[in-house]
Amino acid sequence: MRVLVVGGVPFGVLVAGVGSRLAMMLLRFTSPDRVIGISSDDDFTIGKFSIGGTYNLLLLGAAVGFLGAAMYRLVRRWLIGPMWFRRLTTGLASAAVVGSGLVHADGIDFILLKPTWLAIGLFVALPGVFGAFIGPVVDRVASPDSWTARGRRRWVLPVLSIALFPLTMMIIPFAAVIATALIVLRQSDIVQRLRTSTPYGLVVRGLWLGIAVLGLIALIEDITEIADRV
């Protein structure tokens, strides 16, 4: 839990929270004036900057960062190839899966915001950047010689992260239960034998690949529909 909080929350705030705010600000200046004041699909007022709205984005980014760090820890063992290839594939998979959830044709965001290619590109690139770099961040925090694990910082940093972004408190208990269950399962002889078997590894990697492919297909379909509507 310490690794997920310290590694995931600040990075999620930076990329998903601050990154989303900067992307929205950029689209505010590149879009026509008639979109100013319109409520977005996520109920944000386009063109309006507020402390409360920005903090809500940072809260959402913190939650996304925690979940993203947890997902990376789940798939890390099944990544293949040299390190650069692992970073690349996690970035592309994140861009496809999360991007397919962010980019949608059944609203007004990607119809009104201009240029359309920039709006789509930004909200596909953000999860891609997150996916590519969450691995190095989490691995560094998990390292025994990490500065985040020394002395009081070991408990001060996670407590501070949760205090600043309390939305994560709604997720941590569920993550802790799942983590505990996984630890117990991994200690059983049957699971240990399965984890070292080639067919099991192929099935797990196939499932993760299937999720990424389905995300890519959904993303392409949404982009095609948006292009037809614009």
pLDDT tens by residue, 31-84: 888 877 777 777 777 777 778 888 989 999 999 999 999 999 989 988 999 999
pLDDT tens digits along 86-124: 999 999 999 999 999 999 888 778 888 889 999 999 999
What b/e sequence results for 125-146 when a residue is b if at least 16 CB atoms lie within 10 Å of its CB, and e otherwise?
ebbbbbbbbbbebbbebbeeeb
The values of phi and psi at residue 152, to 5°, are -70, -25
Residue that the structure tokens 């392409």 belong to: 220
pLDDT tens digits along 14-31: 999 999 999 988 988 898
The span from the CA of 132 to the CA of 153, in Å, is 26
Q: Which of 39, 72, 55, 44 is nearest to 164 (CA)?
A: 55
The span from the CA of 91 to the CA of 67, in Å, is 15
pTM for this model (two decimals): 0.89
Give residues with Cβ within 8 angstroms of 56, minimum separation 6. Answer: none
